[in-house]
Amino acid sequence: MTDIHIDDFYKDVAKILLQLYIFFPKPATLYVEDISGPDQPDEFGLHSDRHQAAFSTIIWLGKTGFLHYEDTIRQEAVDQAVLTKTGFTLLSDRSRINPDEDDVVKNYPPSVVEEISTNINLIRKALKSKSSIEIRHCIQHIINQSRFH
């Protein structure tokens, strides 16, 4: 049995990286609710554990060098978020997974295979699958690959 908070972490990482890749190189405000879903603070103004975990994931990605941001907006968002050079090159880079093993890829021209083989497209495919296992493997692969950047 997997730890649900770790599955949520991997899914949050995938959504955050994809969102920043779409806006790159323009800095953007990254709202936590866009990652974790709607949240209503309690009577003391505290957010749910799920919301706080997504916010913490954004901060962690910043501290580990995947993204940069100017400031936090309470625990609602981070302002002027953008992928770092490491984050961008990692996502645009060809995945270390061998696409030639995929029979479907063999039917495309090399330029399309190159695009399909990028890490960002692995993320898109994993999120589209909605499989926690596929998302986990994808993000683990990308985090491990980041050691080479």
For the chain, domain boundaries: 4-148
C-alpha distance from residue 51 to each of 18, 39, 43, 73 (Å): 18, 7, 16, 14
> If you ran DSSP here, which 8-state letter would residue 48 be given?
P
Q: Which amino acid appears at position 7 of this protein?
A: D
57-112 confidence digits (pLDDT tens):
999 999 999 999 999 999 999 999 999 999 999 999 877 655 455 555 667 666 66
The whole-model pTM stands at 0.86
Mean pLDDT, the chain, whole residue set: 87
